Amino acid sequence: MKSILNKLNLLVLGTVLLLTFPGCSDDNTSDLKLDGDTWLTALELNDTYTGVIDRTNKTVTVAVPEVYDTDAMKVTGIEVSEGAEASVKAGDVLNFSFPQVIKVTNGNVFLDYTVNIKHDEARILSFKLNDAYAGVIDQTKRTITVRVPSSVNIKNMVPIITTSTGATVMPASGQAIDFSNPVEFTVSYNTASAVYTVTVIPTDAPSAVYVGLAATLNELNPEEKEAATWMLNNIANSQYISFEDVQAGRVDLSECEIMWWHLHIDGGIDNMDKFEKAAPAAINALVKMKDLYNNGMNLLLTRYATYYAAKLGAT
């Protein structure tokens, strides 16, 4: 009897459900419009400057002359996908001295595009002679200083030069040049142009050195490179060397009065184990560094390089 009642209950419940939800599949229609394209397809500023659109990164780059006022640029052309609208329209005047965002909306979907202005640029980014001696570049004064051993023939040296994107330089990279006197290099790109003066200084025994973990100054991280560049531009007869140079005895340090090491590590260092793992070249050169320190050479250790004082037995 109980089994029959259970079956009757299930039958009644099934009938109620059918009567309650007879057409849910037909009525479940969304009002959201999600199938429209939201591409920014063209952008022009001041009737002259056309944007290069990167759909992957949602950016627009507009190239302008090296010296150009971008505080009030007019949008003279803008195109988007069919049926879409942009938050900016032709005739709008915007301050492009900083990135601007254009939102393209189509129904209930949208994309944001970041517009950046790129001024023409002509810069020498790195300079090396005979693929061995790196130059110290002062971008403000447009000067490059290269220190080489006195045994090197500076009348026939080959510069290896890298420049900002698209720029050309004369004399050309890879061309042998006499550096007995300062040499001017002209770098150009569209409306931008700059002249760098390169001076080669023969020297064997520096009075001061900046030491680092990298083989060359240009391979330092930005913070360390800034420190090293300041020293080389402001301290007479100074040069950059690596800990491997110290270990191998490649540089005559008999006249060196001070050695500076500024160590920056992303994320920081809070114990000696981390320091040793971050600076193996400095640890390998420890014996030579102790000899230099004990023989009277002054050491300036800044930021995380201060751990080295304990390794030297100076604390």
Q: Report which residue type is found at 92.
A: D
Q: Report which residue type is found at 160.
A: I
The reply to whether 209 and 311 lie within a common domain is: yes
Successive 10-residue mean pLDDT values, the chain, 315 residues? 50 47 54 80 96 96 95 96 94 96 94 96 94 85 89 94 96 95 97 96 89 91 93 86 92 92 95 96 96 93 96 89
Q: Which of the 8 DSSP states describes residue 132?
A: T
Q: Is residue 12 in some structural domain?
A: no
The reply to whether 196 and 216 lie within a common domain is: no
In this predicted structure, what is the pLDDT of residue 21? Answer: 47
The reply to whether 166 and 109 lie within a common domain is: no
| CA distance readout (Å), 240 to 134, 170, 178, 216, 251 | 9, 27, 23, 7, 10
Q: Is residue 284 in some structural domain?
A: yes
Q: Report which residue type is found at 240.
A: Y
The reply to whether 195 and 212 lie within a common domain is: no
CATH of the domain at 89: 2.60.40.2340
Range of the domain at 133: 121-204
Q: Is residue 254 in some structural domain?
A: yes
Q: Are 275 and 234 in contact (CB under 8 A)?
A: no
Q: Is residue 187 in some structural domain?
A: yes
Sheet of strand 143-148, all strands in order from the earlier edge strand to the far edge? 136-138, 143-148, 192-202, 183-189, 168-170
**Residue ending a domain, choose from 119, 139, 159:** 119
In this predicted structure, what is the pLDDT of residue 151? Answer: 84
CATH of the domain at 265: 3.40.50
User: Measuring CA to CA, which residue among 136, 138, 49, 37 is closest to residue 83?
Assistant: 37
Phi, psi of 111 (to 5 degrees): -135, 140
The reply to whether 100 and 138 lie within a common domain is: no
In this predicted structure, what is the pLDDT of residue 300? Answer: 96
Q: Are 220 and 210 in contact (CB under 8 A)?
A: no
The reply to whether 111 and 150 lie within a common domain is: no
**Residue ending a domain, choose from 119, 147, 167:** 119
Its pTM stands at 0.64
The reply to whether 160 and 240 lie within a common domain is: no
**Residue ending a domain, choose from 188, 204, 220:** 204
In this predicted structure, what is the pLDDT of residue 212? Answer: 96
Q: Are 259 and 227 in contact (CB under 8 A)?
A: no
The reply to whether 236 and 287 lie within a common domain is: yes
The reply to whether 253 and 301 lie within a common domain is: yes
Q: Is residue 33 in some structural domain?
A: no
In this predicted structure, what is the pLDDT of residue 265? Answer: 95
The reply to whether 186 and 233 lie within a common domain is: no
Total number of domains constituting the chain: 3
The reply to whether 289 and 313 lie within a common domain is: yes
Q: Are 44 and 116 in contact (CB under 8 A)?
A: no
The reply to whether 192 and 276 lie within a common domain is: no
